[in-house]
Amino acid sequence: MGKAFPEIKGLMGFGSLRLPLIESGVVDIEQTNKMVDLFLDSGFNYFDTSHNYIGGASEKAIKTCLTDRYPRDRYILGNKLSRAYFNCKEDIRPLFESQLEICGVDYFDFYLMHSQNRQRYQKYKSQGAYDTALELLEEGKIRHFGISFHDKADVLEQILNDYPQIEVVQIQFNYLDYESASTESKKVYELCRKYNKPVFIMEPLRGGNLVNHLPEEAKAEFDKLGDPTQSPATYALRFPGAFEGVETILTGASSPEQIAENISAMKDFQPLTDKELETVWKVRDLFKAQDMIQCTACRYCQDVCPKNILIPDIFACLNNETAFTSWKWSTEVYYHEVLTLNGNKASDCIGCGQCESNCPQDLPIRDLLKTAVAEFEEKEREKIK
C-alpha cells in the first residue's frame, strides 16, 4: 500500500525535542546544522517541532538550522498547539501566527493538537482549538490537521468520532509499550487502522531508555544476533516500521552520530526478521524486570513547575541507581554537585501537582520526588550527622 502522505520522504522523521544543547535551553546550532544536513542529504524530509520543546528553543533552531538554510520545498514541517499557551479561542490565532514567524514559514504542513488525553481533549474542544485548526486548514495555513495522543484507546475513539476531519494521529509506539496496559499502544494503533488514520510514531526509543537503560543481559541478547551493523537503537527504530499505515517514525537524536546511526537503520528500511523480533520480545521482558521510572525526558512537567525542578534529570539519577548499583556514589555526587548545585532540589517541591497533569506517561511525580529526597538528600544528611 502506498503512503497516505507521499510528500513525506522515507520512513524517518526528525524530532526536535532532544536537540544537542550547549547548556540548558541553548541549542548547539553547529551540531544541529550537521544533523539537519545529514538527514536531508539522506533523502528524508519530515521535521517535527513544538512551541514548548526545549522551552521554545526548538522552534527557533528549526528556523536557524532548517528554514533559513533550505528552500521550502526541501522539507515538510509539522508543529503543534500546546496546552500551556492558550486559555481561550482568541489566544490561539496569535499563538499560531507567532509559531509561523518563529519557524520562518508561512504555513505548516502538519498541525497537531498536542498530547491529547481525556482531560486535555475537553479543554481543547471547549476552548475552540479544534475549530480554529479546522479554520486554519480551510485557509491553507496548515496543510494537514491531526493530533498527538497519549491515553487509552477509548479516549482516542471518542476524539476520532467527534472529529472525523482528523487526518493523522501521532502515537507513542515502541516494543516496550506495545502491549502495555497503561499506554495501550497496540490497541491505539489498531484503532487508528480501524478509522483509516495514518500514523506518525513518537518515542520509538522511549526517550532513549531502550538504549541507555538496557540491562546487560538484554544487550547480550542483541549481541547474540551477531550483526555488527545493528545496535539496540536500530532494532528499536525498525520495530514500528513494519506496521501498516506508519508514515514516519520520529527520532529524537541529540548528535550527528546518533542521527547517522538512525539513518543507517532507516535509509534502506528492512523490517525486523522473525529471529530479531523474537529477541526484541526477550529484551522487552528483561527491561521490564528492572524497576525503572518510565520517564521519557519530554520535560513537559518541567515547563510548568513553579520551582523549576529538573524532574526528568532527577528521575534519570534514580534510574541510574537502579541500573548501575555499583555506581551509586557517582550518582549521588552528580545529584548534589551538578544537578542541584544552585538549588531546585527534589525537596523544594511544594506538591502543587501541575507537573502530573502535564505528564503524558501519567507518572506519580510527587511521590517519585519523595523517593529522590529519601535517596539523595536524607541519606546525605545522615552521613553528615
* Per-residue contact flags (x/-) with ligand SF4 for residues 279 to 318, judged by CB under 6 A: ----------------xxxxxxx---xxx-x-xx------
Nearer to ligand SF4, 105 or 171 (CB): 171
Nearer to ligand SF4, 169 or 311 (CB): 311
Q: Kindly give, in sequence order, each residue whose CB lies less than 8 Å from that of residue 343, ignoring residues fewer than 6 positions away.
A: none
Nearer to ligand SF4, 263 or 293 (CB): 293
Q: Which of 35, 81, 168, 365 binds ligand SF4 (CB under 6 A)?
A: 365
Nearer to ligand SF4, 57 or 137 (CB): 57
How many other CB atoms are there within 10 angstroms of residue 83's CB atom? 23
Chain position carrying cell 541478547: 221
Q: Which of 47, 359, 375, 376 binds ligand SF4 (CB under 6 A)?
A: 359
Question: In the complex, what is the shortest distance from the CB of residue 209 to ligand SF4, in angstroms, rounded to a whole number?
Answer: 10
Under rule CB under 6 A, residue 176 binds ligand SF4:
no
Rounded CA separation 148/348 (Å): 32
Under rule CB under 6 A, residue 84 binds ligand SF4:
no
Question: What is the DSSP code string of 271-328?
Answer: PPPHHHHHHHHHHHHHHHHS---------HHHHH-TT---HHHHHHHHHHHHH-GGGH
Nearer to ligand SF4, 145 or 315 (CB): 315
Nearer to ligand SF4, 40 or 188 (CB): 188
Question: In the complex, what is the shortest distance from the CB of residue 177 to ligand SF4, in angstroms, rounded to a whole number?
Answer: 12
Question: In the complex, what is the shortest distance from the CB of residue 299 to ligand SF4, in angstroms, rounded to a whole number?
Answer: 5
Question: In the complex, what is the shortest distance from the CB of residue 357 to ligand SF4, in angstroms, rounded to a whole number?
Answer: 9
Binders of ligand SF4 in range 318-357 (CB under 6 A): 349-355
Question: In the complex, what is the shortest distance from the CB of residue 312 to ligand SF4, in angstroms, rounded to a whole number?
Answer: 4
Q: Kindly give, in sequence order, each residue whose CB lies less than 8 Å from that of residue 179, ignoring residues fewer than 6 positions away.
A: 185, 186
Q: How far is CA 117 from the centre of its chain?
A: 15
Question: In the complex, what is the shortest distance from the CB of residue 197 to ligand SF4, in angstroms, rounded to a whole number?
Answer: 24
Q: Kindly give, in sequence order, each residue whose CB lies less than 8 Å from that of residue 203, ignoring residues fewer than 6 positions away.
A: 172, 173, 174, 177, 250, 252, 296
Return the sign of the alpha-carbon dihedral for residues 272, 275, 281, 286. negative
Question: In the complex, what is the shortest distance from the CB of residue 58 to ligand SF4, in angstroms, rounded to a whole number?
Answer: 15
Alpha helices by DSSP H, listed for the chain, are: 29-41, 57-62, 89-103, 118-126, 129-138, 153-162, 185-194, 209-212, 216-224, 232-241, 256-266, 274-289, 300-304, 311-323, 328-334, 354-357, 365-372, 379-384
Nearer to ligand SF4, 28 or 356 (CB): 356
Binding site for ligand SF4 (CB under 6 A): 295-301, 305-307, 309, 311-312, 349-355, 358-359, 361, 363, 365-366, 369
